[in-house]
Amino acid sequence: MPTRRPDDGSASTSHLPEKDTHMEKTAPPSTRRIVVITLLILLGTQVFHFVYLHTRDVAIRLHDDQIDIQRLSNAIARFILEEGYGYRVVMVESTIKEVHERLTEGDIDVTLEMWKDNNLAWYDLVSEKGEVVDLGPIYTGGRQYWIIPRWYAREKNITGVFQMKQHWRDFANPEDPSKGIFFNCIFGWSCRDINRVKLTAYGLDRYFNMVSPASPEALEAIYENARDRQLPVFGYYWEPNALIASRDWVALEEPPHSRDIWESIIQAATDPHAPLPDKACAFKEIGVHKLANRNLLEKAPDAARMLERMQIETRVFNEILFTDTRKGLSSEDFRHMALRFFSTYPDLWEGWVTAAAGDRIKTALARIRENKGN
């Protein structure tokens, strides 16, 4: 009798007993093959998800400077990286000066808010060494100014920085009545040293002392308090942000931006032995960039590609962030803003992610909406 191969189903069945009509019918071989293939597919899918979830047990350390606009950008990026790509995201609070060292050493993987021209000497150095990779702008239209209240500018007919020499008494410093106050950037921001150099180059250091508040919130509160009480105030601020969007402020005119003059300002701001320039100029309107430690490209290449494509238009910040007048916003508040972004601007974020990541993000958003409805 020929030997029957287990899989051909062609061997003689004459030696088998008569079929018991009460016995369960055996599925034909073709059906069994379909069942086996289906089980293998299901098993493969489960293995894929297991491998996906476990190989993605990689943390991406994201810089947090506690600036509202950056906190919204971070919340958007975090949701995409966690829900779309399966990474863990760890927020690392750090000032800009601290992030210089922490980014190059890998303690921080990426910052979504770097004003390159304010950090020019450091940026050129680490870029040349290849320690940091520029992932392009997160948004364009970053502007920095010296501002005074609009009502005060009209009342005194002030348009430029040099006119402030005649009006310093209106900004008198209670601790030093011989000078006025210029409210500078907070400690740890590169612009603090830049403004120090500019104030001296303009000859305004003889009329104004510089005061650096303890936090971004404290600096904002100073301007808001002056606006609400209609008090003169003079200092540095930037946009995009809600304060400047209120249109209550005038940016003072300065000499036009010059690359050569700016480099001398940066040199004096970063090197204590460099001579102070006798000229200064306006800040340049710039794109605010995303910078990553070079190792991010190896440990999370798909995340780096997504972040490179990520660019948020300033109208988004105007429509989502700056319409919220609440103070002391929490991480959960920014997460809700990010969710609003995903539902309002799919035409933007879907272009940053892969199709598979986009599907996972949409599934996560649907789950959140369903849970909210229950």
Q: What is the mean pLDDT of residues 108-137?
A: 96
| Amino acid in the structure at residue 277 | P
55 pLDDT higher than 60? no
For the chain, report the end-to-end CA distance as a whole number of angstroms.
Answer: 68
Question: What letters, b where the CB count within 10 A reaches 16 and e where it falls short, cover 187-209?
Answer: eebbbbbbbbbbbbbbebbebbb
Specify the fold of 54-141+288-373: D-Maltodextrin-Binding Protein; domain 2 (3.40.190)
Instruction: Write down the pLDDT at residue 372.
Output: 80
350's tokens: 């879907």
pLDDT at 30 over 80: no
Mapping DSSP to helix (H, G, I), strand (E, B) and coil, where does residue 115 land? coil
Q: Flag whether pLDDT at 40 surpasses 80.
A: no
Residue type, 178: S
**pLDDT value, residue 131:** 97
> Which residues make up the CATH 3.40.190.100 domain(s) of the chain?
142-270
Residue 184: pLDDT band by 50, 70, 90 thresholds?
Answer: very high
Angle at 114 between CA 122 and CA 247, to 5 degrees: 130
Domain with CATH 3.40.190.10 in the chain: 54-141+288-373
Cβ 312 vs Cβ 240: under 8 Å: no
Q: Are 334 and 74 in contact, with CB atoms under 8 Å apart?
A: yes
Residue 175 to residues 169, 181, 195, 196, 215: CA-CA distances in angstroms? 13, 10, 21, 19, 21
The answer to whether the beta carbons of residues 279 and 353 sit under 8 Å apart is: no
Q: Residue 304: what are its φ and ψ, rounded to 5°? A: -65, -40
Domain 142-270, CATH homologous superfamily name and number: Glycine betaine-binding periplasmic protein; domain 2 (3.40.190.100)
**What's the pLDDT score for residue 51?**
46
What gap in Å lies between CA 138 and CA 348, rounded to an integer? 12
**How far apart (Å, rounded) are the C-alpha atoms in residues 321 and 316?**
8
* Residue keyed to tokens 């760890």: 90
- Residue % of the chain over a pLDDT of 70: 84
Summarize the confidence of residues 62-86 as an average pLDDT. Answer: 96
Q: In the numeric block, which tokens belong to residue 286? A: 């710039």
**Length of the chain, in residues:** 374
The pLDDT-based confidence of 323 (bands split at 50, 70, 90) is: confident
Question: Residue 6: is its pLDDT beyond 90?
Answer: no
Residue with tokens 């007919």: 157
Asked if 344 and 320 touch (Cβ cutoff 8 Å), the reply is yes
Q: Angle at Cα 333 formed by Cα 330 and Cα 337, nearest 5°?
A: 145
CA-CA distance, 227 to 245, in Å (whole number)? 14
